[in-house]
Structure 1
Amino acid sequence: MEELWTIIYRTIIVYFFLLVVLRMMGKREIGQLSVLDFVISIMIAELAVVSIEDIHVSYTKAFTPIIVLSLLQIVLAVWSLKSDRMRHILDGKPTFLIKDGKIDEKAMKQQRYNFDDLLMQIRQKDIKDVSDVEFAILEPSGELSVFEKKEEAEEVPYPLPFIIDGHIQWDKLKMAGKDELWLRRELHKTGIDHVRMVSYCALREDGVLYIDEKSD
């Protein structure tokens, strides 16, 4: 019974100790594990289990390796912040699996990434087909960043109404690449001096400006 209480007591101590250590190592260790982070986390977890199970090991001997690992991780993290080369060595580089809409089979082979993995990750991004992907980047953390192809510019929906009931439709005028001065000049050519005299004015697909004046 005494041994059971000792294990419970040590579990509580180790829990709070690890909580402090993980806080010192930073939130990145929890939310975005690189390969190095993952290895150190596993080692710390194993050491923590040993320190709980072996009640004959003192806290000093049990916690020293964990402290060393956490300090090592902090030093390497600071170093990687100041050095791009060190960051690439520790975390690795992002890998383009799809670039400009084309799948890079060589990169997939190097990363041990098969097509089933690729398609599954793309579906999880709510993208139906790989043909809709412009870029797919395998991040150092193992997450796949996916960017959809940009939609082609939409065709101008002719006819474009420039004036409706005496009011200029500015968005349609901008869509056609025209300005107010051009519109007033076109109206003046037909003998119309004021916009409010126009009931409906629209640019047709053939480039002709259709104008309907208000009736008295």
Structure 2
Amino acid sequence: MFTGLIRTIILYLLIIAGIRLMGKRQVGELEPSELVLSLIIADLAAVPMQDFGIPLLTGIVPILTLLSLTMILSVLTMKSTRFRTLMCGRPSVIIRKGKIDQGEMRRNRLTVDELLEELRAQGYAGPAGIEYAILETNGQLSILPWEREKPPTQSQLGLEAEETGLPLVLISDGKLLTRNLTARGYDGVWLQKQLAKHGLKDPGQVFLMTVDEAGGVYLAPRSGQEEGRRRA
């Protein structure tokens, strides 16, 4: 039992390290070569986990070999455009100037229902308002609407907006991130004042609190805190 536990932990950590080497993309955004690698690694790790008669190196060596091969292929795809096209393919323009390219749909085995589903998922009722729709190599559909269909920006309307910058998390699930508080130039006194504005006493009552570069604060109390304040 102990041997099986150790083998499982080793293989699990090895797979996690391999996935981290592949980058931070989600499974749905993996290139075909990366998806195949993930499936093969999972299969190679499953056998040594279940069969204790198989040496652990039987699973580790192929996994390390595949990870090394992946790193080599990654370097080659960065250096060579032709090799990148060979490995990852090319984006396909499904809608061009408002017209659906039926040939591209057939080549990519994309049905009308799937196309309309993707359009609806991105807030478009149909292809009428779309200038370009591009099927990327990771299977995602990128949509570029006509200029007349885009919402106007504040600069186009002649308005000036204050740049708030990136919000920084100060409290996460009741835990105060002191480093972030200091990075924003605030201290405990300022924090207590912000909590008091929301009827709270300590960071443990906060689910999420952020502050942006302009000083804008967002605070969400933990479940039960709002109800407790109403009863009080």
Deviations 1:33-66 (A, max 9, x none): 1111111110001001112011112222210111
| Equivalences for residues 1-216 of structure 1 within 5 A | 4-28=1-25, 32-151=29-148
> Structure 1 length as normaliser, TM-score?
0.65
| Shift of residue 28, structure 1, vs aligned partner | 4.2
| Shift of residue 19, structure 1, vs aligned partner | 1.5
CA distance in 2, matches of 1:43, 1:137: 29
SS at 1:145 equivalent: strand
Question: What is the aligned length?
Answer: 151
CA distance in 2, matches of 1:64, 1:101: 51
Q: 5+ residue gaps in structure 2?
A: 150-157, 159-232
| Shift of residue 83, structure 1, vs aligned partner | 0.5
> Structure 2 length as normaliser, TM-score?
0.61
CA distance in 2, matches of 1:87, 1:28: 17
Q: 5+ residue gaps in structure 1?
A: 153-170, 172-216
SS at 1:93 equivalent: coil
| Shift of residue 31, structure 1, vs aligned partner | 6.9
Per the alignment, residue 164 of structure 1 pairs with none
CA distance in 1, matches of 2:106, 2:92: 11
Check whether the contact 1:29–1:37 (CA below 8 A) recurs between aligned residues.
no
Check whether the contact 1:97–1:104 (CA below 8 A) recurs between aligned residues.
yes
Check whether the contact 1:98–1:136 (CA below 8 A) recurs between aligned residues.
yes
Amino acid at match of 1:21: G
| Shift of residue 23, structure 1, vs aligned partner | 2.2
| Shift of residue 7, structure 1, vs aligned partner | 2.6
Structure having the higher Rg: 1
Identity of matched residues, %: 35
| Shift of residue 17, structure 1, vs aligned partner | 1.5
Deviations 1:116-148 (A, max 9, x none): 000000000011221111110000000000111
Check whether the contact 2:28–2:138 (CA below 8 A) recurs between aligned residues.
no
| Shift of residue 26, structure 1, vs aligned partner | 2.8
